[in-house]
Chain A
Amino acid sequence: MEDTKSAVMNQVRQEAAMTNARQLIEKVNQHCFERCVPKPGASLSSGETQCYTQCMEKYMAAWNIVSTTYIKRIQQESAKGAGGGVF
């Protein structure tokens, strides 16, 4: 049985990962549904499904670029010491 401290840490990590995943799924669905299923039919066509897979991977690629750029930027800004405490 792990100690209390590690148990708390693990639970917090798990919940953070879950929140992050849920958020991503929600956004992917929102954007890709709009893009890939403009007129919902009786079922998802194979074209729509294929579009969905591509769209999802593309969205995650965009997420990664945004993440890298944003983190680089806030590191630069905090190195400058400007905007103290804005982030």
Chain B
Amino acid sequence: MDQPTAQLDSNLDLSKLTDRDKQELQQFLANEGQKARIQQTVHSLTDVCWKKCVTGTIRSNKLDSSEASCAANCVDRFMDANFTVIKHLERMRVSP
């Protein structure tokens, strides 16, 4: 578990792969990479939204309905804010 993760098992001989396998692997890695980036964002968003939405004492293992809707709103507003930044940067680029 604490091994550095960038190393493939040394028993694997990648030179034996056919071109088709290589292509398929490349596609697979691209997909996995995207999945990992999305999961990473979900972790940091959950972190942000937990702090904002779950403020009371923990009394139950479920989110109450206001906490749940707060969490969903939190994600959507965060995205809105994100897009606002991007749009504004774009405007600044066009007319500095």
Q: Using a CB–CB distance below 8 Å, which chain A residues touch chain B? A: 4-5, 7-9, 11-13, 15-16, 18-20, 23-24, 27, 31-32, 35-36, 51, 53-55, 57-59, 61-63, 65-67, 69-71, 73-74, 77, 82-83, 86
Q: Are A62 and B49 in contact (CB under 8 A)?
A: yes
1/0 contact trace for B77-95 toward A, CB 8 Å?
A: 0010001001000000000
Q: Using a CB–CB distance below 8 Å, which chain B residues touch chain A? A: 1, 5, 8-9, 12-14, 16-17, 21, 24-25, 28-29, 32, 35-36, 38-43, 45-47, 49-51, 53-54, 57-63, 67-68, 71-72, 74-76, 79, 83, 86
- Contacts A8-B25, A19-B36, A70-B41: A62 and B8 contacting too (C-beta < 8 A)? no
Q: Which of A11, A66, A82 contacts B49 (CB 8 A)?
A: A66
Q: Which of A27, A35, A51, A71 contacts B43 (CB 8 A)?
A: A27
Identity of the chain A residue whose Cβ is nearest the Cβ of B90 in the assembled complex: A83
User: In the complex, A50 Cα to B54 Cα: how many Å?
Assistant: 17
